[in-house]
């Protein structure tokens, strides 16, 4: 197997963690419309069922750091694949279990644990394997896999839902939607046994010969020897405070910046649109029930296409320019949606606003945040720092998913002043903050090795 094929195999397999991330979080979109009626859920309970998995994601991201340090990136991903499979089977509430909302929530939380572990380890693993000149593109495969997961699950839920009556979907169709995840989760588990361990994790554990062998297979002998020396130098104790003191000014600053960027990704409102897309199309945009799942496929398709745009531009244009371009696009999209809602002139421009927002997120904050998080932290603190940043992201995701349906149904939002538009103007404020944070605090990492990026924080 040549170097390019080997690298693509590693990236594709580890990126399946992203596909399951997208599939598991997306399946609730198609299923919640029917399971909410099955269990007769009010807005608060609907938010709890949808958001419960995010609590698992939060805990999973927190434990992902220690797991990654102790067992490595590869074995952490294997654990996540097992959790995905357990969740997919149990969320369908098979007949051996008594049917209840509480049990569904338990299995959604188990799936969330898998997502939390995978969402930290998969992009970090890819970044630690990939050559610096194509690292952005390689890590973007993870985001591509997420949106493919969303697209595939929307196709699956549309196929399942479209071949059943509404009564059948309410009775058991939503269960079949959850079970469909067993196919990718079992495939992920099997294929993970074919990929190597992270060379930087091996070096961290003092297994330099194993690390060198893997780097040689990926980069060739000359480049591998150079990289192993750079890695070993970055792990030396010459900067002891970086190794042991997470509350030092430098390290705490790095973690705060990465965490802020991670949290702001969620405050764009992306998951409010993706998780509650069915409700938005029905209530805000006036689409009929028969059109809802078809509209979700449209969103997922736009998400997929513009993630490809990001993949082929992130190493050419750089990380920061994509964030600026995407942020402007997201603001334009939400302005179109918000103003048409506020003026009670919902129609084509409203839908166009949603699509512009999705496209802009997909070419910027979606993939670029994962690229930056996987790159910006020094080798010695990468597992812990990324664990903190990803855990905070899931906490922010939970806040948005829990509060969005409540705010949408609130008297203030439905008053004559806002007419259902308030959340989108709030999201615009956060997108403006993203542009400021990126300009002021985020380094441009295009074309630099992980060890060269580490040097940025020492300047």
Predicted model pTM: 0.84
Quote the pLDDT of residue 446.
93
Quote the pLDDT of residue 428.
97
Quote the pLDDT of residue 249.
86
Task: Name the DSSP class of 412.
Answer: T
The whole-angstrom separation of Cα 362 and Cα 127 is 20
Domains with residue ranges and CATH for the chain: 3-456 (1.20.1250.20)
* Site of tokens 């929307």: 154
Residues in contact with 236: Cβ distance below 8 Å, sequence separation at least 6, in sequence order: none
Sign of CA dihedral 30, 32, 33, 35: positive
DSSP H helical segments within 220-318, as ranges? 221-234, 240-244, 249-266, 270-275, 277-279, 289-311, 314-317
The phi and psi torsions of 396 (rounded to 5 degrees) equal -65, -40
Residue-wise pLDDT for 43-78, tens only, equals 778 878 877 888 899 999 999 999 999 999 999 999
Quote the pLDDT of residue 241.
44
Which segments of the chain have a pLDDT < 50? 237-243
Quote the pLDDT of residue 293.
63
Q: At what angle do helices 135-162 and 3-38 cross, to 10 degrees?
A: 40
Cα 299 → chain centroid: 16
Q: Nearest Cα to 257, choosing from 379, 369, 362, 119?
A: 369
- Determine whether 100 is exposed, middle or buried from the number of CB atoms within 10 Å of its CB (0-12, 13-18, 19+): exposed
First to last CA, the chain: 41
What Å distances lie between residue 18 and 292, 310, 387, CA to CA?
25, 16, 16
Quote the pLDDT of residue 286.
67
Residue-wise pLDDT for 365-421, tens only, equals 999 999 999 999 988 899 999 999 999 998 998 888 778 888 988 999 999 999 989
């Amino acid at each position: 197997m040549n170097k390019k094929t080997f690298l693509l195999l590693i990236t594709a397999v580890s990126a399946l963690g992203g596909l399951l991330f997208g599939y598991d979080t997306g399946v609730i979109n198609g299923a919640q419309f029917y399971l909410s009626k099955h269990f007769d859920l009010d807005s608060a309970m609907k938010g709890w069922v949808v958001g419960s998995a995010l609590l698992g994601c939060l805990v999973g991201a927190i434990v992902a750091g220690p797991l990654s340090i102790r067992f490595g990136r590869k074995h952490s991903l294997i654990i996540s694949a097992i959790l995905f499979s357990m969740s997919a089977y149990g969320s369908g509430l098979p007949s051996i279990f008594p049917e209840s909302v509480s049990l569904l929530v338990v299995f959604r939380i188990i799936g969330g644990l898998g997502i939390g572990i995978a969402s930290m380890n998969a992009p970090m693993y890819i970044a630690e394997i990939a050559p610096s000149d194509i690292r952005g593109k390689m890590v973007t495969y993870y985001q591509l896999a997420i949106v493919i997961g969303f697209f595939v699950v929307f196709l699956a839920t549309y196929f399942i839902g479209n071949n059943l009556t509404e009564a059948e979907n309410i009775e058991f169709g939503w269960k079949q939607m959850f079970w469909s995840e067993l196919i990718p989760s079992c495939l992920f588990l099997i294929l993970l046994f074919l990929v190597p361990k992270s060379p930087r994790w091996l070096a961290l554990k003092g297994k330099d010969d194993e690390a060198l062998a893997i780097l040689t297979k990926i980069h060739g002998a000359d480049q591998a020897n150079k990289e192993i020396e750079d890695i070993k130098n970055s792990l030396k104790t010459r900067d002891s405070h970086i190794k042991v003191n997470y509350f030092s000014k430098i390290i705490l600053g790095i973690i705060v910046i990465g965490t802020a960027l991670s949290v702001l990704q969620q405050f764009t409102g992306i998951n409010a649109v993706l998780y509650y897309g069915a409700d938005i199309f029905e209530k805000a945009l006036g689409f009929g029930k028969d059109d809802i799942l078809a509209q979700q496929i449209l969103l997922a398709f736009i998400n997929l296409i513009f993630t490809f745009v990001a993949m082929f531009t992130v190493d050419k244009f750089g990380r920061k320019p994509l964030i600026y371009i995407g942020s402007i696009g997201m603001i334009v999209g939400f302005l179109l949606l918000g103003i048409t809602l506020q003026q009670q002139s919902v129609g084509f421009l409203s839908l166009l606003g949603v699509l512009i927002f999705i496209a802009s997120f997909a070419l910027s904050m979606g993939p670029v945040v994962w690229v930056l998080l996987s790159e910006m932290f020094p080798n010695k603190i990468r597992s812990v720092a990324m664990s903190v940043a990803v855990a905070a992201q899931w906490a922010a995701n939970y806040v948005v998913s829990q509060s969005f349906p409540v705010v949408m149904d609130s008297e203030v939002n439905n008053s004559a002043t806002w007419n259902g538009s308030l959340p989108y103007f709030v999201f615009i404020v956060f997108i403006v903050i993203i542009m400021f944070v990126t300009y002021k605090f985020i380094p441009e990492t295009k074309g630099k090795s992980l060890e060269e990026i580490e040097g940025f924080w020492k300047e």
